Structure 1
Amino acid sequence: MSNLTAILFRADGNAQIGLGHVIRCLALADMLAGTFSGRFALTEPTSEVISLIEKSGLTILALAKNDDEQTFLDQIDPNEIVVLDDYSFDETFQQLVRSRAKKLVFIDDLVTGYQVADVIINHAGGIAETDYEASPDTQFCLGPHFALLRPEFLKPDGFGQPSATQQIHRTAEPAQPIFVNLGGADPQNTSLTVLEAIRQVDSTLPVHVVLGPFHPDRNSIEAFQNQLPNLTILQNLTASQMVDQLMLCCLAITACSTIAYEVCAINRPLITVVTADNQARLAQFLAEEKLALSVISPTLLTQFIPVVGSDKLLKSAIQSFQTSPETVSESLVNQRRFFDGRSPERFRALFQKLSA
């Protein structure tokens, strides 16, 4: 391992901010496994996050909350490539990191502020280099061809996925469940809103809801089994188990975050719900390119139509899925245009260049 170029990841994940930053870094680490060695620095990581990182084979560097910035800077080895993924890492902090590290890579989805990193990774679609203010020598890796997805989701066409036509046929099979996942934290318990919408469509539908490790109220989901008798509750699934669930489903209803990209990579009909402000660009891309059947943004829509609740919007979207096979087929074809499973080789080539 000593002859491998080292990478130091810096991100956080908890019940307040969810696991998106951590999952993206772990996806990148998995793609580079065997080529680079890695460490992962976090502020006061929980046992759930520690378990996730340990499964990826990375060494964990726990930082104290009251001095996490300086401690992290002191830990940087000049031969390490540093990967940052957090909204608090502004231009000043990036400059400090870049002055200490071999190279700096910044994973972004906000497109705000001035960037000084050697490489910017933003896998949201519809983003251009000209959208950024950045150093002239900054390199950009933009769009779904640089999707930060775990290897289990990045299988090429030989994965055994049915064709779009076959999938439309399969959606008519009543035994196929609806897959529901609203992220690692789901602080507003949007999962319950989705389940209520499904109940309004048909209370006998089979549903598999996947809760993240920081879900705030599993009891409320368990109580809802009285209204959805074919509801199965799952929690803390591995990537392989998530893939298995997606391969089984007829429809996925997810947060408009990395999980939506995972659904697209597996090639399944998708309805997304915007659960945080930072999901706006991804939501716009999924809607404009028709990768998702519907993109529900409750906060925005209810400003103009206060009488329409999120459950009603979702109910309408589910009913449209059931009655519009041509639209479903189109979305599946569009997904396959953007997700080719080759992110790992692109990132390996990038980091080999950075380490030279």
Structure 2
Amino acid sequence: MGKSAVVFRADGHAKMGLGHLIRSAALAEMLTPDFDCHLVYRHCPKALLADFSHFIGFCQLDASLSLHTDAQALIDYVASLGQPCPIVVLDGYHFTTDYQQEIVTAGCFLVCIDDIHQTEFIGQLVINHAPAATLADYQSAQTTQFALGLRFALLRAPFRQAAQSRTERQQQGNHIFVCLGGADPDNVTIKVLQTLTDRGVSETIDLVVGSAYTHEVTLADYLRHSKLSVTVHRAVSASQMAQLMRASSVGITSPSTVCLEYLSAGGRLFLQQIADNQKEIHTALLARGLAQDISAFSVGSGRGDTLADSPSTRGPMLLDGLQDVRFRKLFAGLGLTYRAATHSDSAVYLQWANDPLVRAQSFDSRMIDPAAHDAWFSRRLEDPNTDLLVFTDRRRLAVGQVRLQLDGSTAVIGYSVAAAARGAGFGLAMLHFAQNHLQAHRPEVDHIVGYVKQSNVASLITFRRLGYRELPTDDYPNAIKFELHDF
């Protein structure tokens, strides 16, 4: 059987910027090992389109289409692929709830990339990598799941690789890196350069402008009369961008995807907001001490700092470079839904619990007596501090369960996947969707704990991939304790 299709719908140009296209391309690259990715667009610079090697199919729509006709053209392209239950990813602020409804009605799984939550979402998944994004920001269908925060940053491969080796590297240079995105429609780049001039900067400046930047003449004229030492890099590849970031001790970027890339690869970060939709990332990174506003920039801001000392690497670092694994597992689990367990589920819970593999990886490996199980199950259903969640696949077949035991602001989490459903990657999706459940229904919980036997390799991998912090413990024999504080 071939790979399932994921069809992206995104646009980018000089006025809009390139953020939607760059985010979509980053996600496509992450999904490519398991999915065939296609791009449907109205506007995309040719130079950028040539770099989108991870898309195997392209379709350009007429720019004059109405939204309804746009949706129908997208549906027609998806239908031409001839795959059941394909996935559509929308990244753009004009994709209204009505537009989404047309995609869902056509039988597609729907994923939306969003950072301003101005409409209701009705698909299977919403992605927002803004650090402070929460479920409370959104109106959505009851079954919509969310992938929020830096753990789901839409980073291209060189930046994920840089994030994974971040603690092993020292700063390679003292250049200043400047990039205000792929378009910078109002040419705020000149304002930043003037700020650096006013602050008496003498370091070499690596200035990156994107393929949709239209102010080259103005920039060239400014630089002819400037005392700054500036090297201009136009439309560089992700690898070249990462190299420039690593060669810098200071970065000045817009609070968009490029700033998350810099947090993964560079040094001390300063932010210059250039659009209203960047306010949330700007505010969140400043509040967490991961960046400063450009108004705080002074000569020597990055001098003498190693990468490990910079604000971008203090505290829990959720930019761990594992975003690709998380996204592939979540997309594989898009058909999953869950519900609260009922008394009628007691028998299947007993069957799952007495599965030989489950017993072998439990802290008490003895087979469970049916009468004892029934009594335990009834107590758990009646306990206001216990949530039992049954997960079903797209065929509505039960594939596993997650148990959440609450104690104040802490939830102890445990799960199991039915024998027939193992190997599909459901474990990660189930645990993550259970985190969404806590955010939506147990807002007092801010700390999740899981215990895994050291011999349970599959569960160890699952918790690690979700970004849980790993700790030794004496709470159970031969166990590892996993903690998650920011979810």
2:339 is the counterpart of 1:333: no
SS at structure 1 position matched to 2:334: helix
For structure 1, the 5+ residue unaligned runs are 297-312
1:93-242 to structure 2, matched below 5 A, reads 93-155=99-161, 159=165, 166-167=170-171, 176-223=174-221, 224-242=223-241
TM-score, normalised by the number of residues in structure 1:
0.85
Deviation, 1:7, is: 0.5
Name the CA shift for 1:60/1:197 in 2 (closer, same or farther; >3 Å): same
Q: Distance in 1 between matches of 2:60 and 2:125?
A: 25
Q: Quick check: which one's helix share is greater? A: 1
Deviations 1:4-26 (A, max 9, x none): 00010000011111110011111
Q: Which has the larger radius of gyration?
A: 2
Q: What residue is the counterpart of 2:31 in the other structure?
A: 32
1:68-79 to structure 2, matched below 5 A, reads 68-77=70-79, 78-79=84-85
Q: Distance in 1 between matches of 2:163 and 2:269?
A: 19
Deviation, 1:101, is: 3.7
Q: What residue is the counterpart of 1:302 in the other structure?
A: none
Relative CO higher for 1 or 2, CA cutoff 8 Å, sep ≥ 6? Answer: 1
2:266 is the counterpart of 1:286: no
Q: Distance in 2 between matches of 1:15 and 1:159?
A: 34
Q: What residue is the counterpart of 1:308 in the other structure?
A: none
Q: Distance in 2 between matches of 1:5 and 1:265?
A: 30
Deviations 1:323-355 (A, max 9, x none): 896999351333761211110110011111226
Q: What residue is the counterpart of 2:91 in the other structure?
A: 85
Deviations 1:107-149 (A, max 9, x none): 1100222110110111111121122111111111000000111
How many residues are treated as equivalent by the alignment? 327
Q: Is the contact made by 1:32 and 1:344 (CA closer than 8 Å) also made in structure 2?
A: yes
What is the RMSD computed on CA atoms of the aligned residues?
Answer: 2.4
Deviation, 1:241, is: 0.2
- Residue type of the alignment partner of 1:258: T
TM-score, normalised by the number of residues in structure 2:
0.63
Q: Is the contact made by 1:161 and 1:266 (CA closer than 8 Å) also made in structure 2?
A: no
Deviations 1:140-196 (A, max 9, x none): 100000011111100266526556xx54xx7xxxx6210000111011111111111
- Identity over aligned residues, as a percent? 30
Deviations 1:273-322 (A, max 9, x none): 11101011111111110110x225xxxxxxxxxxxxxxxx3xx4234725
For structure 2, the 5+ residue unaligned runs are 336-393, 395-487
Q: Is the contact made by 1:201 and 1:318 (CA closer than 8 Å) also made in structure 2?
A: yes
Q: Distance in 1 between matches of 2:48 and 2:206?
A: 23
Name the CA shift for 1:157/1:130 in 2 (closer, same or farther; >3 Å): closer
Q: Is the contact made by 2:43 and 2:63 (CA closer than 8 Å) also made in structure 1?
A: yes
Deviation, 1:70, is: 2.8
1:44-83 to structure 2, matched below 5 A, reads 44-53=43-52, 55-67=53-65, 68-77=70-79, 78-83=84-89
Deviation, 1:197, is: 1.2
Q: Is the contact made by 1:114 and 1:133 (CA closer than 8 Å) also made in structure 2?
A: yes
Name the CA shift for 1:252/1:101 in 2 (closer, same or farther; >3 Å): farther
Name the CA shift for 1:328/1:31 in 2 (closer, same or farther; >3 Å): closer
